[in-house]
Amino acid sequence: MRLSFTSGLAFTLLASSVTLVVDASAQGCPSDCLTTKGVPYVNSTDAQYANLSAPFNLRLPYKPVVIVLPTTPQHVSDAVVCASESGIKVASRSGGHSYAAFGLGGQNGSMVIDVRNFQDFSIDSNQVAKVGGGMRLGTMAQKLFNEGTRALPHGTCSGIGIGGHATHGGYGYSSRLWGLTLDHIIAMDAVLPNGTYITTSMTSYPEIFYALRGAAEFFGVVLNFYFQTEPAPSDVVWFTYTIPGLNESVEKATSAFIHLQDFARNSSVVDENLSFGTYVDRGVFLVRGIYTGTLASFDPIVTEMLRGLPSPSQNTTESIAWLDALTILDGTSLNPPVNEHDNFFAKSVTVPEISPLTEDAVTNYFTYLINEGANPDTGSWFSICNLYGGPGSQINTKTIDFAAYSDRDALWVFQHYSSEPANVSFPATAFNFVQGMNTALEQDMPNTTFGAYLNYIDPSLTPAEAHEEYYGSTLYAKLLALKEVVDPGNIFWNPQAIGA
């Protein structure tokens, strides 16, 4: 049957694939249904439950009613049907690093489908990599290089699962050169809200393929990704510069950032081979990144980058092998750590390329960071700002016509983060400080439409705020229309779900 809806998209499914037989006796009792169908799971009475339900963000300890640990697509299909019959919501989880604990459902009482057992990996003759939906970034990076001297753009934290990372963008230091992780997806194997298992691509279930790339958790459980890979560089230039005095002087910090912003937009020195950003906390102001090229070709670029700034107190510029660069960026190794946790709150800001930050906005921002951030009650905080746009950026060559991902016009993306020790109740002062970091950056530019980055998901946003900041009204309308067709019962859900 063919179903049409207001966005102009169309979705086709065979009638025979959408039939659900609901067993009324199983409603409210997913364990019975899962047991009958032979689906592996744990619930709160099992010894594994405490470990499997522990959130990355310890501030948000939600408790699922059941955690499914499938090993086959049929297990996933059966689990989704059981959730539907039982009237409970479904959350899929890959690495489990959701800032908002949405991999646990974002509430108590959801069914979690944890795809950690899907670890398939292969590279075909067209350099397309099949990557299981439960694989971690570090494992994937090593396999890509070791088995094919290939690479993908992706984030720096090796323990993050590919599932949420890739389907919500997937920025990395090679993204200005290659685009986002999401941009390299050419197909996915996924289970839909009705339990149907499909392979989706530009030509097979294209509407689903569109929605999964940006809003996957509301439309399907991705079990395998197929990525068009890139040839791994033999070497890249890694650089990091500690600029003294900037975290103590509003005037100096503002002048430095405005210079870096002008530099980032200067096509005579910047192209897609350069990726960099800033890191600021109470004690340090860093400029760091990578350059895909030689030290000799990087020399005039770094000369202009640092022009007029205080001489770095620490200066690292070296040509290193690709995997060594990924290891340095991770900070530890590419062997994914298990059971990572932090006690934190984070927000993000995307700054549009057509509206670079004004001097007044930057002054207000550093005034806030330096003055308010000196208070120890604001927690252990940092601000990371990465260049997304600028000359040659491959992130911004696509639009929302390509995928359900809206941050295609950003110049900068900021991450604001504060954490506390695991055994400390997260204080309101730290929470409010992070909220204030966003406000300080945005308030002097009232006519600018700022956004937010999906992989830094912010649970403090209302559904309406989240829909606007992460998708925008045009894209959200498309997704809502598709959601009403594909998942009318809102089985795949979290507090900021499409349609919430």
- Residue 267, pLDDT above cutoff 80: yes
Residue 455 banded pLDDT, cuts 50, 70, 90: very high
pLDDT in tens, 296-308: 999 999 999 999 9
| 87: region left, alpha or beta (phi > 0 left; psi from -120 to 50 alpha) | left
Look up residue 9 and give its two tokens: 């998209």
Is pLDDT of 69 > 60?
Answer: yes
Q: How far apart are CA 350 and CA 138, in angstroms?
A: 26
The H-or-E segment that residue 463 falls in is: helix 463-470
Query: What is the distance, to the nearest Å, from the Cα of residue 88 to the centroid of all Cα atoms in its chain?
Result: 26
* Residues 375-397: tens digit of each pLDDT: 999 999 999 999 999 999 999 99
Q: Return the pLDDT at 8.
A: 39
pLDDT of residue 29: 74
Angstrom distance (rounded) from CA 207 to CA 87 = 26
Retrieve residue 221's tokens: 């459980």
Rounded Cα distance, 139 and 145, in Å: 10
> In this predicted structure, what is the pLDDT of residue 331?
87
What percentage of the chain has pLDDT greater than the value 90? 92
Averaged pLDDT for residues 412-421: 98
Residue 336's pLDDT band (cuts 50, 70, 90): confident
Whether 13 shows a pLDDT value over 80: the answer reads no
pLDDT of residue 461: 97
Confidence at residue 335, expressed as pLDDT on a 0 to 100 scale:
87
**Over 80: is that where the pLDDT of 345 sits?**
yes
pLDDT band at 67 (very low <50, low <70, confident <90, very high): very high
Joined together, the tokens standing for residue 365 give: 């921002």
pTM of the model: 0.93
pLDDT tens, position by position, 150-177: 999 999 999 999 999 999 999 999 999 9
Does pLDDT of 1 surpass 70? no
For the beta carbon of residue 296, count every other beta carbon within 10 angstroms: 9
Task: Tell me if 231 sits within 8 A of 134, measured CB to CB.
Answer: no
* pLDDT exceeds cutoff 60 at 4: no
pLDDT at 27: 46
Torsions phi, psi of 271, nearest 5? -140, -170
Strand partners, 348: 415
What φ, ψ does residue 27 adopt, rounded to 5°? Answer: -60, 130
Q: What is the pLDDT of residue 327?
A: 94
Chain CA centroid to CA 430, Å: 23
Q: Which 8-state DSSP code applies to residue 293?
A: S
What CATH number should be reported for the domain whose range is 12-116?
A: 3.30.465.10
Asked if the model's pLDDT at residue 449 lies above 80, the reply is yes
pLDDT of residue 489: 95
What single-letter DSSP state applies at residue 26?
Answer: G
Question: Do the Cβ atoms of 168 and 214 come closer than 8 Å?
Answer: yes
Give the model confidence (pLDDT) of 192-241 as tens digits.
999 999 999 999 999 999 999 999 999 999 999 999 999 999 999 999 99
With 0-12 / 13-18 / 19 or more C-beta atoms within 10 angstroms meaning exposed / middle / buried, residue 331 is exposed
Average pLDDT over residues 64-79: 98
Give residue-wise pLDDT tens across range 79-134. Answer: 999 999 999 999 999 999 999 999 999 999 999 999 999 999 999 999 999 999 99
Mean of the per-residue pLDDT values of the chain: 93
- Dist CA 210 CA 200 (whole Å): 9
71: number of Cβ within 10 Å: 13
Locate the domains of the chain by residue range.
12-116
Q: How high is the pLDDT of residue 22?
A: 35
Which pLDDT value is given to residue 28? 63
CA distance 50 to 427: 25
Torsion of CA 385, 389, 392, 397, to 10 degrees: 140
Q: Return the minimum-mean-pLDDT range out of 17-21, 140-144, 429-433, 481-485.
A: 17-21
Q: Which residues contact 291 (CB under 8 A, 6 or more apart)?
A: 236, 237, 239, 273, 274, 275, 297, 298, 301
Q: Is 405 exposed, middle or buried, given 0-12, 13-18 or 19+ CB atoms closer than 10 A?
A: buried
